[in-house]
Structure 1
C-alpha cells in the first residue's frame, strides 16, 4: 500500500476520506455530499469536494486493487450503450463469477478492436489466465478470442447465461441517472476506473449470507479501507 499524502489541505484526512467514500460508495452527487457534510457541521464547498474526489479517489482505488485477492478464473463480459456528450458510446465491463468488477472500459466502437482491447487489459492487469469467459453472442468477442487463442475457453450465450455481467451494469446506470449522464468519455472512464475498486470490497450481497457472516465481511471491508487510506 502507498500511504496517501494529505499535506496542505485545510480539512483533516478523516473529513476528506468520508466525503470521497460517500461519493463513490453510494449513489450520491457532489451536492448531496456537500449537504451531508453541512448537516454534520462541516462547511465545505462543492468545488472542494470535487477536487478531493478527483485527487484522492484514484489513489484509494489503486491501493484497494493492490490489497485485493486475485479474482476467480471464470469471467463474464458484457457491453452496454451509454450516451456521453450527445454521442453513442459503449461501456465494456468485465466481472468474475462472484461479482468482482475486473475492469470497465468506455469505447466509441462495438467491434473486434474494442473487445480485443478489453481482453488484453484484463490479461495484463489481473495476472490470471481464465478458465472460462462467458459473453453474449456478439461476433466481436469470437474474433478477439481467436486472436488471443482463447476460443476454447469462450462460452457465448444469451442473457441468462451472462446474467452476472448484465446485473453489474445496474449500479452504473443508477449513477449515470444521478449525474444526469456522463459529460465526456474521459470523465466517465476516470469515474468508472475509480468506482469499481471502491465498490468491490463493500459488495457483500447480504441476501446470500447470514447476519454473523455479514458482520465478518463488513469488518474485512472496513479493514481494507483503513489500510488503503492510511496517511503518509
Structure 2
C-alpha cells in the first residue's frame, strides 16, 4: 500500500455531538462501506447495544462523510501519470444523468462529477475540474471512444497523450461497479446535488477499504486492512481513544 501514516493529523470537530467519536465514525464507516440504508445501520448498532436513530445516522453521514473522504485523499500519494476516464448513466428522479469518473493506474478515484450531458462541454468541464482537484497533469489519459473526450482534450490538455480505445479502459469501467451496487440499494438518487454529495464521499471512503484482494495472500490482505483501519482511525480522530464501538 502506498498510503502513509506520517501525514499531519487534523481531526474533525465534533463540538455539539453528544455521542462518542468512535460511534459516529463507526456508523459513517458502515454506511459508506457496505450497501446499507440508514435504518439498517440503526438496527446493526442496536444489536451492539447502541441506541441511535436512522435520522441521526443520516446527519452524521452528511456532516462527516465528505470530511472523512477528504482526509483519506490527503493521505494518498501523488496520483500516477496514467489516468483512466469513463462515464456511465445514472437515474436521478427518474431522469437520465451522467456520472463522470477518473481513476489512476492503481484504481484510486481522482474525482467524480455528475452532469446532465456527455457532450464536449461536459467533458471539458470534467477535465478542468479534475486538473483543479488533483493539481497535477498526467502523462497519458485513457478513455473510451466517445468523441467528446478528444475534442475537450485538445482544448484543455493538448500536451497530454490521449489513448482512445474501449478495451484499454477496463479500469475506469470496473470502478463504476460499486456505484451501481449502491445505486440499486438506494433505489436511485433523488437529486443531482444529493447524488454528487453522496458519490463524492463514497468514492473517497469505499475504495479505501477495497484493496486489490485478488492479488494478495490472506496474510497480506489482513496486514493491509490493519494499516487502512489505522489510517481511518487517524482521519476520524478515533486513534488514541480507549475503546471503539
Which aligned pairs between 1:144-163 and structure 2 lie closer than 5 A? 144-150=152-158, 153-158=161-166, 160-163=167-170
Which aligned pairs between 1:48-67 and structure 2 lie closer than 5 A? 48-67=56-75
Which stretches of structure 1, 4 residues or more, deviate above 4 A after TM superposition?
A: none
1:170 partnered with 2:186: no
Which aligned pairs between 1:213-224 and structure 2 lie closer than 5 A? 213-224=220-231
Which aligned pairs between 1:1-232 and structure 2 lie closer than 5 A? 1-150=9-158, 153-158=161-166, 160-230=167-237
Contact 2:85 2:142 in 1 (8 A): yes
CA distance in 1, matches of 2:160, 2:53: 54
Q: Which runs of 5+ in 1 are unaligned?
A: none
Cα pair distance change 1:212/1:111, threshold 3 Å? same
CA distance in 2, matches of 1:47, 1:150: 48
Aligned length: 231
CA distance in 2, matches of 1:172, 1:141: 22
Q: CA deviation at 1:216?
A: 2.6
Contact 2:21 2:237 in 1 (8 A): no
Q: What's the TM-score once normalised by structure 1's chain length?
A: 0.95
Structure 1 counterpart SS, 2:90: strand
CA distance in 2, matches of 1:150, 1:96: 19
CA distance in 2, matches of 1:199, 1:43: 25
Contact 1:201 1:224 in 2 (8 A): no
- Between stretches 146-155 and 203-212, larger displacement belongs to 146-155
Deviations 1:8-40 (A, max 9, x none): 222111111110000011111111101101111
CA distance in 1, matches of 2:161, 2:17: 50
CA distance in 1, matches of 2:129, 2:223: 32
Structure 1 counterpart SS, 2:168: coil
Contact 1:142 1:151 in 2 (8 A): no
What RMSD, in angstroms, separates the aligned Cα atoms of the two structures?
A: 1.5
Cα pair distance change 1:36/1:174, threshold 3 Å? same
CA distance in 1, matches of 2:65, 2:157: 36
Deviations 1:179-214 (A, max 9, x none): 010010000000011011112322211111122322
Q: Which runs of 5+ in 2 are unaligned?
A: 1-8, 239-245
CA distance in 2, matches of 1:152, 1:60: 32
